[in-house]
Structure 1
Amino acid sequence: MSLILTFLGKSGAARSKIAIATAKLLATQGKRVLLAGHAEPTLPMLLGTAIAPDPQEIAPNLQAVQFQSSVLLERNWDEAKKLEAQYLRTPIFKEVYGQELVVLPGMDSALALNAIREYDASGQYDAIIYDGTGDSLTLRMLAIPDSLGWYVRRFRQLFVNSDLGKTISESPLIQPLITSFFNVNWTENNFAQPTNQVNNFLEKGKAALADPHRLAAFLVTTPDPLEVANARYLWGSSQQIGLTVGGVILLGAEQDPNLSEEFNPLTISVVPDVTKGEWQPMIDALPNFVQQASQAPKPMEIDVHNRQVRLFLPGFDKKQVKLTQYGPEVTVEAGDHRRNIFLPPALSGKPVAGAKFQNNYLIISF
């Protein structure tokens, strides 16, 4: 398994510089590093070399790749056709080309996340540095396992509890009729297997998101008030999806005491900008990413003994938060993101008794 690092902030060029410097730093430490970005000109220009849709070595221990959605989808399209052929007698995917689906909303993010998952699972890399959009789109991408898991759980349970679901599962007559009329290869094992595979992928994704030793983000900003405000918003939104923010990287300026208050308790690392192609000063000033991520506030803590859930939500107040409860889950909406908290058995079924803000924490009591 790899350490996955990404960077959040308003300035795309600044984030890319930090991503490159981080990749170079880890590579010189002997780690096998993959620097991954999207099909944009920033990374190739900063690196001074072209980047292909397949990983290519650009320095010792360092490979780079640019995600091209059409290429990624085409590579996965044959697998989708195989699955379809397994469950439908008359497949329809063969009439659709993979490139045609790239225009679907959110497809780019899903493909990029799946590519990162595959590179992580390959065992070829000790660290993956993801130079994404660095904004809410990156956070939505990383939140896909949790968001999709919520829909799988909710709609699967709704179907099981419905009259139609009960009829299909219990009647020895309905299943053969469905097989005949809808041309579906209906067996319990057929439908359980892909569902279990999806759930397995989603659970692994959620586990990685919750582990700062596996996945962490760092904020990149300058003293500019707009960039600081943007970084603070992304900080709070990251906590909302369960992503650990390990620290702040202040680019090209001396540390301002006011910034320490803005990002307390995160550590702020001041790094110089790259000038005349000299990367070493920036590399030397980078923080210990693993150490800072492990010491950062956890996005969520569940205290079963005191019947409390503590969410670290810097940048939000009680008026900006909405709580809803459905069975064993509590949904927290803050800003532009929602988080679905699946309660442990000791708290499952207990109604929310109250909620309060204290020192940037939303404390939910049961």
Structure 2
Amino acid sequence: MILTFLGKGGSGRSAIALATAYQLSQAGKRVLLTTQDPTTELLLETPIRLEPTSISSNFWAVNIRATALLEQSWEEVKKLEAQYVRFPLLGNVYGQELAVLPGMDQALALNALREYYESGNYDVIIFDGAGDLTTLRMFAIPEHLSWYIRRFRDLFLNSDLGKTISPFIQPISNAVLNVTWTAEDLTDNPNASEANQMLERGKTALEQGKVAAYLVTTDDPYALKTAKFLWGSAQQSGLRVAGVLLNQETTVREVVNEEFTPLPITSLPPIDPGEWMALGNALPDLLGTISQAPPTVEIDRNQRTVKVFLPGFSKQQVKLSQPKHQQEITIDAGDQRRNIPLPPPLRGQPVTGAKFLEDGHLLVSF
């Protein structure tokens, strides 16, 4: 499992992430806490290094710093270039020179999570990130990137440009690289297939509930509004939200119940810093409730419907469209766009109706 926590800054996300790590590790789970937030190191009162460091029994922590990850990735790129290109050009560019551009840190962090996830060394990986839209966009990378590859690959091969340069791909690849490729090989070669398989594994992990989030909020009105916005936005990223953690509750329990139905809500008492086990013991069964989390998309082939869960948004805030090729539908909500591929029975069929239900679902008919 990969767990993350969403909520307004100052709501206690990092403290709850730490308490979760202690609680699950004490229960016998092998837990890795991954963080990009310096606050976590201050709370833990222990340096968090760039390699997994043992904190206590079954509990490790690692700092997934973007600059270090970029250096490592760049070295891998240079190795690949040297393997395939007869006259490498990147040898004189060093990872220590590279600056992290906007968006790179999320992509690098997601790749680090993937590597730790696929290592099999941990039962639970906790990601303590920004807890906002940047975190949600990070988890949406596999779905969005696979869409770009799928759509633009076919467009390129069928375009005048693709048809013009395709005869030259084979001699150029033979002269410059150590392989012989055709235009089709650019989409079907083992490296491209491996990348596509990696993206598919990421999408599958989200769809099967192997990655989940919990909302963290206090009784502050802005914290509550932020949590509800992130709940709806998480659905646009394909990330399941399994519950609400109401930190330092005072008098708003009934309001929270109404705003976040049907999510389970757990009230957490005020805990002094460092009392991580006390806070951990107040947490619910975070792993056990994930299977009950509402799915982000439900497709009924027999009824010819697609139901998309968009809590926190009104009908006026949601835009539905369908491209001319009718292979998918597109949902705009919360400054995020999601393309939902249609299964064979619905593929190529036009949308015949859409209804925004009271429970926050958008029901699309074909």
1:13 to 1:49, Cα distance in 2 relative to 1, 3 A: farther
- How far did 1:175 drift? 3.6
The match for 2:7 is 9
TM, length-normalised to structure 1? 0.93
- How far did 1:297 drift? 1.1
Moved more, 41-50 or 196-205: 41-50
Q: 1:206-260: CA deviations, max 9, x gaps? A: 1111122x11000000011100000000000001111100000000114520110
> Secondary structure of 1:247's match?
strand
How much is the aligned-residue C-alpha RMSD, in angstroms?
Answer: 1.9
> Secondary structure of 2:322's match?
strand
Q: Is the 8 A contact 2:170 2:181 kept in 1?
A: no
- Matched residue pairs, number? 359
State how far apart, in whole Å, the 2-side matches of 1:339 and 1:106 are. 18
State how far apart, in whole Å, the 1-side matches of 2:148 and 2:275 are. 48
The match for 2:228 is 232
- How far did 1:266 drift? 0.6
State how far apart, in whole Å, the 2-side matches of 1:350 and 1:282 are. 51
Q: Within 5 Å, give how 1:25-44 maps onto structure 2.
A: 25-38=23-36, 40-44=37-41
State how far apart, in whole Å, the 2-side matches of 1:165 and 1:279 are. 58
The match for 1:93 is 90
Q: 1:174-217: CA deviations, max 9, x gaps? A: 345544887795414576222111111100011111122x1100
> Secondary structure of 2:226's match?
helix
State how far apart, in whole Å, the 2-side matches of 1:233 and 1:31 are. 32
Q: 1:286-344: CA deviations, max 9, x gaps? A: 01112222112111100111110000100112221222223312111111111111111
Q: Is 1:337 the counterpart of 2:336 in the alignment?
A: yes
State how far apart, in whole Å, the 2-side matches of 1:267 and 1:310 are. 21
Q: 1:20-58: CA deviations, max 9, x gaps? A: 0100111001111001101x4311111121111110101
Q: Is the 8 A contact 1:236 1:316 kept in 2?
A: yes
% identical equivalent positions: 52
Q: Is 1:360 the counterpart of 2:360 in the alignment?
A: yes
> Secondary structure of 2:343's match?
coil
> Secondary structure of 2:355's match?
strand
> Secondary structure of 1:331's match?
strand
Q: Is 1:150 the counterpart of 2:137 in the alignment?
A: no
The match for 2:350 is 351
Moved more, 104-113 or 285-294: 285-294
State how far apart, in whole Å, the 2-side matches of 1:139 and 1:274 are. 28
Letter in 2 for 1:17: A
The match for 2:288 is 291
Q: Is the 8 A contact 1:13 1:42 kept in 2?
A: no
1:12 to 1:150, Cα distance in 2 relative to 1, 3 A: farther
The match for 2:57 is 60
Q: Is the 8 A contact 2:173 2:181 kept in 1?
A: no
> Secondary structure of 1:341's match?
strand
Q: 1:99-132: CA deviations, max 9, x gaps? A: 4444222111111000010011111100001101
Q: Is 1:241 the counterpart of 2:223 in the alignment?
A: no
Q: Within 5 Å, give how 1:78-227 maps onto structure 2.
A: 78-169=75-166, 171=167, 174-179=168-173, 185-188=179-182, 189=185, 192-212=189-209, 214-227=210-223
- How far did 1:160 drift? 1.6
- How far did 1:281 drift? 2.6
1:237 to 1:138, Cα distance in 2 relative to 1, 3 A: same
Q: Is the 8 A contact 1:31 1:127 kept in 2?
A: yes
Q: 1:76-106: CA deviations, max 9, x gaps? A: 2222112223443332222322244442221
1:53 to 1:176, Cα distance in 2 relative to 1, 3 A: closer
Letter in 1 for 2:61: A
Letter in 2 for 1:141: M
Q: Is 1:322 the counterpart of 2:319 in the alignment?
A: yes
| Residue of 254, 261, 264 corresponding to 2:261 | 264
- How far did 1:277 drift? 2.6
> Secondary structure of 2:289's match?
helix
Q: Is the 8 A contact 1:21 1:279 kept in 2?
A: yes
